[in-house]
Amino acid sequence: MAGFLTARYKTRFADCTADIEAAQRLRHLCFRGGDGLDADDFDNACAHVLVEEAASGRLVCCFRLLPLKNGAEIHQSYAAQFYNLSNLESFDGPMVEMGRFCILPGLVDPDILRIAWGAMARYVEDNGVELLFGCSSFKGTEAEAYDDAFALLKERHLAPKRWLPRVKAPRVFRFASRLRLRKPNLKLAQKRMPPLLRTYLVMGGWVSDHAVVDADLNTLHVFTGLEIRAVPPARRRLLMGAG
């Protein structure tokens, strides 16, 4: 992945322990609050992407990428701890899991998300990835706050049956069945939808039919997949040119 550079931001891979620890500190701040390192065993197997301010070098966004040869390796993913992904075992192309995506709290600049997706799109292109997946998080564990967003996911964005993740985690919110009669308020649904997930959906992504209640990170998350061949060509060109 060649680094993207704009007037304000640049992207690059972490290339030393200090870089990874900087990402882990940002993750801790975003997901747990305060100082500390958010670290796990998956960090050693992942490539870590950093988005920094071009002038100051301040880290403003990060995420990690776990490449898998095909669906036979899906159980090595972070998401497999929470979802039964046996339906994806038959996926026969290269895959990558994008995880721990976060942006420095208080920054509201759409260019950060845009350049991050541009870097991810370049990685996908360079490595022939055919499926991008991960866990898309809603802040907090009170599902009722996101009823309209979940109702919209149920109505328009559920995974194809052949790939649909099944329940594995002990605490889940089965929104597809619980909200089967609810019609979403589209304005509220878009307002409550996490920006990362909105981008997946614009490109043709799909989600599990349930959300996992993750008390450790104080989030609700849905398994999210994107078959790269399904991305509209115009959208793909836009992402590739994001830098």
Let me know if residue 3 belongs to a domain.
no
What six digits make up the tokens of 194? 């996490």
Name the amino acid, one letter, at 81. Answer: Q
> What whole-number percentage of the chain has pLDDT above 70?
95
pLDDT score, position 124: 92
Are 220 and 162 in contact by the 8 Å Cβ rule? The answer is no
Q: Which residues contact 79 (CB under 8 A, 6 or more apart)?
A: 85, 97, 99, 133, 134, 135, 223
Let me know if residue 177 belongs to a domain.
yes
Let me know if residue 2 belongs to a domain.
no
pLDDT score, position 3: 65
> In the predicted model, what is the mean pLDDT of residues 43-66?
97
Let me know if residue 98 belongs to a domain.
yes
Task: Tell whether the model's pLDDT for residue 243 goes beyond 50.
Answer: no
Q: What is the pTM of this model?
A: 0.94
Task: Tell whether the model's pLDDT for residue 98 goes beyond 90.
Answer: yes
- CATH number reported for the structural domain that contains residue 177 in this entry: 3.40.630.30
Quick: pLDDT tens for 6-39.
779 999 999 999 999 999 999 999 999 999 999 9
Let me know if residue 129 belongs to a domain.
yes
**What total number of domains does the chain contain?**
1
Let me know if residue 155 belongs to a domain.
yes
Number of CB atoms found within 10 A of residue 241's CB: 10
d(Cα 212, Cα 170) in Å, to the nearest integer? Answer: 8
Averaged pLDDT score across all residues of the chain: 94
pLDDT score, position 238: 63
Let me know if residue 4 belongs to a domain.
no
Q: Give me the domain span that covers residue 96.
A: 9-240
Handedness of CA 208, 214, 219, 225 (dihedral sign): negative
What six digits make up the tokens of 225? 């997949």
Task: Tell whether the model's pLDDT for residue 127 goes beyond 80.
Answer: yes
pLDDT score, position 6: 73
Q: What is the CA radius of gyration of the chain?
A: 17
Let me know if residue 114 belongs to a domain.
yes
Name the amino acid, one letter, at 145. Answer: A
